[in-house]
Chain A
Amino acid sequence: MQIYRAHVLVCGGTGCTSSSSVKIMQELETQIANNKLENEVKVVKTGCFGLCAEGPILVVYPEGSMYTMVQVSDIKEIVEEHLLKGRLVKRLLAGNKESENITKSLEGVDFFSRQMRIALRNCGVINPEVVEEYIAFDGYKALGKVLTEMTPEQVIDTMKKSGLRGRGGGGFPTGLKWEFAAKQVADQKYVCCNADEGDPGAFMDRSVLEGDPHSLIEAMAIAGYAIGSNQGYVYVRAEYPIAVKRLEIAINQAREYGLLGKNIFGTDFEFDVEIRLGAGAFVCGEETALMTSIEGNRGEPRPRPPFPAVKGLWQKPTILNNVETYANIPVIILKGAEWFSSIGTEKSKGTKVFAIGGKINNTGLVEVPMGTTLREVVFDIGGGIPKGKQFKAAQTGGPSGGCIPASHLDTPIDYDSLIQLGSMMGSGGLIVMDEDTCMVDIAKFFLEFTVDESCGKCPPCRIGTKRMLEILERITDGKGEVGDIAKLEVLAKNIKASALCGLGQTAPNPVLSTLHYFKDEYMAHVNDRKCPAGVCKSMMQYVISAEKCKSCGICTKVCPANCIKGEKKVPYVIDQDKCLKCGACMEKCPFKAIFKNV
């Protein structure tokens, strides 16, 4: 065993990989070799740190110094200064960009210090492709404990007492689900993992798969022992190539070590996991459609009951849990149900990972205890809204969820409080919107998504959502009719009541919640033909202020439609008939003479 005095961890998640972290690793190794440090410094590829907005990210241990937005050209300096001479490269340190206070270590960054990482405990700490590193951080210990010291009933009891609820959307108690499946008598049972993360903006499951794939395998084996199953399936979308590759590596390593296969830990228990790739249909994240797809059929939902715990995959009792749910399980087994249930709120225990995106400074992944307020997530951890703009609303739960307006910023977030606000936890996507967002446009965006992704099996979803979208398009085009809003409400209510699966039943939620909190915006669109946020193009104009215009002509050069005319010393004018409303002129005007007229 080689002991190194320093480890350089490079983020190998999808975000940082796309901003060239692979090249950064190669350059690091070259520079380290150039300085003859290869026996002292180890380069480790790891999973997502969560601060994706600041990627590519590099963390140097033992100091825990976090370098952000690292370029390949910065590597030479980091190696020569930090690794060779022990001097921090201050200009690249996290937190150094906004303030004078230099943050030397990970723990000192607000983004991390306010989080509590359970599901993401190993992301950004271990090398996901080395099983020994997972084992070093207590990996597979929970599986060993379960197999050698606990009965299946005790495992289920622990899960029930922990209060863990499904992290994928519905929030069904995991222990209860396991108990239903365990009670079924059958020659074969299955354990499935839903890694078909489809909500726009959510990527926590991908990060767990990329950063800590063994925790999923371990938890699925624990679930297999609890319900009496020997076969697991992970249904993951093919658009996650890095996640799929790491999961494959992890499964093979687990098989080599005998952590999957027969006689695990010297007991009679056998378990194996296989990967099934999904083609990326949103509906396949719905449990019955997912199982239909694993069976090799077109991914369409079927009515429930019978529930999967009774008749699931190939008509056999099956449990299906989400990646993040599984990632919590080994820790619950090791630290106990009491520990886990001491975190969170009365009915929602533990932590939740949120993928924060949209109009927010620290785009990325955060894990906070249930009951943390939206304000803490958005402002304290998320770093607030860019350019000093006002917070307008946050969208949770993706196309099945709804909006939470600024007036509810201080609501503690848990499953039940979000339902009360007309939204839902969903998988944990959190899209922040500022004052420049049109809520009707947002509702239209999510409905476009559901119309696109509707499988077409049941008419309420296939036809109903299409009709709703048509009305919304009419409203945003400035052609809204009196009674449109009432029609939307009736349609929404009927679709909710009659659609076959969760996708259809929740599809109207974005419309209902924006209607609830921002009805005045809908009214302004229909009655006054105005879009207050200035987003809907048919209802706004770009105008040049005659007073401010210095006739520099820059706008005419950027205008793709050639619709700005003017001459020296005469203010320029936009031809509204030809204007495409792209906004390029406003962006480029050095005198801020162009503005939106709503």
Chain B
Amino acid sequence: MKSLAELEAIRNKALGEVAMRANKDGIRIVVGMATCGIAAGARPVMNVFLEELKKRNLNNVNVTMTGCIGVCRLEPVVEVIDSEGNKVTYVKMDAEKAARVVAEHIVNGRVCVDYTIGAEENK
């Protein structure tokens, strides 16, 4: 160990791996992964979230799974919950849409309105 900067570099590298254990109030991405969700393609969606977050080094975002919330016809359903508990529900997700949600919603804070459950139901 030659300097504090070297330690900091190791720290930053390792932080990504353990952040979810320390991180209590970051953004949560919840992917519906019941039978309906998985059948509709939730797994690739979740993988895209994981990859995009890793690519952008977003340590304060957790990706978790949940069960069926009852709107199986709209699966894959993804909910993004911010640190204040505000929830946005995206429906009929796919890999491409997931990447856009990360870029626009997670990074820039702009909700992708056209993917939300409200937009879908008003069609």
Q: What is the bound-complex CA distance between A136 and B16, given in angstroms?
A: 8
On chain B, the number of residues with a Cβ less than 8 Å from chain A's Cβ atoms is 35
The yes or no answer to A137 lying at the interface (CB within 8 A) is yes
A contact residues around B54 at 8 Å (CB)? 1, 3
Q: Contacting A135 at CB < 8 Å: which of B7, B21, B66, B67?
A: B7
Count chain B CB atoms within 10 A of each CB in A63, A85, A136, A148 and give the residue with the most. Answer: A136
Interface pick from B57-65, B89-97, B105-113: B57-65
Near A by CB (< 8 A), chain B positions 12-29 give 13-24, 28
B64 near A63 (CB under 8 angstroms)? Answer: yes
The yes or no answer to A405 lying at the interface (CB within 8 A) is no
Q: Contacting A62 at CB < 8 Å: which of B10, B16, B34, B62?
A: B62
Count chain A CB atoms within 10 A of each CB in B11, B24, B33, B34 and give the residue with the most. Answer: B11
Count chain B CB atoms within 10 A of each CB in A3, A4, A42, A87 and give the residue with the most. Answer: A3
B1 near A148 (CB under 8 angstroms)? Answer: no
B contact residues around A1 at 8 Å (CB)? 13, 16-17, 54
The yes or no answer to A133 lying at the interface (CB within 8 A) is yes
Interface pick from A48-56, A197-205, A257-265: A257-265
The yes or no answer to A7 lying at the interface (CB within 8 A) is yes
The yes or no answer to A552 lying at the interface (CB within 8 A) is no
Q: What is the bound-complex CA distance between A266 and B2, given in angstroms?
A: 4
Q: What is the bound-complex CA distance between A65 and B82, given in angstroms?
A: 20
Interface flags for A101-140 (1: CB within 8 Å of B; 0: not) read 0000001000000000000000001100000110111101
Near A by CB (< 8 A), chain B positions 49-99 give 50, 53-54, 62-67
Look across to chain A and name the residue whose beta carbon is closest to the beta carbon of B13. A1
Q: How far is the CB of B84 from chain A (nearest CB, A)?
A: 17
The yes or no answer to A296 lying at the interface (CB within 8 A) is no
Q: Contacting A5 at CB < 8 Å: which of B13, B14, B64?
A: B64
The yes or no answer to B46 lying at the interface (CB within 8 A) is yes
The yes or no answer to A86 lying at the interface (CB within 8 A) is yes
Interface flags for A142-170 (1: CB within 8 Å of B; 0: not) read 00110010000000000000000000000
A133 near B64 (CB under 8 angstroms)? Answer: no
Q: What is the bound-complex CA distance between A87 and B68, given in angstroms?
A: 9
The yes or no answer to A587 lying at the interface (CB within 8 A) is no
A132 near B14 (CB under 8 angstroms)? Answer: yes
The yes or no answer to A6 lying at the interface (CB within 8 A) is yes
Q: How far is the CB of A51 from chain B (nearest CB, A)?
A: 17
Q: What is the bound-complex CA distance between A576 and B31, given in angstroms?
A: 69
A contact residues around B10 at 8 Å (CB)? 132, 135, 257
Q: What is the bound-complex CA distance between A410 and B18, given in angstroms?
A: 40
The yes or no answer to A43 lying at the interface (CB within 8 A) is no
Known contacts A7-B21, A136-B18: A264-B64 contact under CB 8 Å: no
Known contacts A86-B65, A132-B14: A148-B4 contact under CB 8 Å: yes
B7 near A140 (CB under 8 angstroms)? Answer: yes
Interface flags for B27-41 (1: CB within 8 Å of A; 0: not) read 010111110000000
Q: How far is the CB of A45 from chain B (nearest CB, A)?
A: 14
Q: What is the bound-complex CA distance between A3 and B47, given in angstroms?
A: 10
The yes or no answer to A452 lying at the interface (CB within 8 A) is no
Interface flags for A1-44 (1: CB within 8 Å of B; 0: not) read 11111110100000000000000000000000000000010100
The yes or no answer to B122 lying at the interface (CB within 8 A) is no
B4 near A5 (CB under 8 angstroms)? Answer: no
Q: What is the bound-complex CA distance between A85 and B67, given in angstroms?
A: 6
A contact residues around B64 at 8 Å (CB)? 5-6, 62-63, 86
Q: How far is the CB of B6 from chain A (nearest CB, A)?
A: 8
Q: What is the bound-complex CA distance between A71 and B3, given in angstroms?
A: 46
Near B by CB (< 8 A), chain A positions 44-95 give 61-63, 83-87
Q: How far is the CB of B64 from chain A (nearest CB, A)?
A: 6
Q: What is the bound-complex CA distance between A144 and B63, given in angstroms?
A: 34
Known contacts A61-B21, A86-B33: A5-B50 contact under CB 8 Å: yes
A136 near B1 (CB under 8 angstroms)? Answer: no
Q: Contacting B1 at CB < 8 Å: which of A3, A6, A40, A140?
A: A140
A contact residues around B23 at 8 Å (CB)? 62
B3 near A137 (CB under 8 angstroms)? Answer: no
Q: Contacting A265 at CB < 8 Å: which of B3, B15, B17, B67?
A: B3
B contact residues around A4 at 8 Å (CB)? 17
Q: How far is the CB of A37 from chain B (nearest CB, A)?
A: 10
Count chain B CB atoms within 10 A of each CB in A42, A258, A264, A265 and give the residue with the most. Answer: A265
B contact residues around A263 at 8 Å (CB)? 2
Q: What is the bound-complex CA distance between A144 and B14, given in angstroms?
A: 17
Look across to chain B and name the residue whose beta carbon is closest to the beta carbon of A126. B18
Q: Contacting B13 at CB < 8 Å: which of A86, A125, A132?
A: A132
A62 near B11 (CB under 8 angstroms)? Answer: no
B1 near A7 (CB under 8 angstroms)? Answer: no
Q: What is the bound-complex CA distance between A141 and B22, given in angstroms?
A: 17
12 further A-B contacts with Cβ under 8 Å, apart from A136-B15, A266-B1, are: A1-B17, A1-B54, A3-B16, A3-B17, A4-B17, A42-B17, A62-B63, A125-B21, A136-B17, A137-B18, A265-B3, A265-B4
- Chosen A-B contacts, 13 in total, with CB atoms closer than 8 Å, are A61-B21, A62-B28, A85-B65, A86-B64, A86-B65, A86-B66, A107-B24, A133-B17, A136-B15, A136-B18, A144-B4, A145-B4, A259-B1
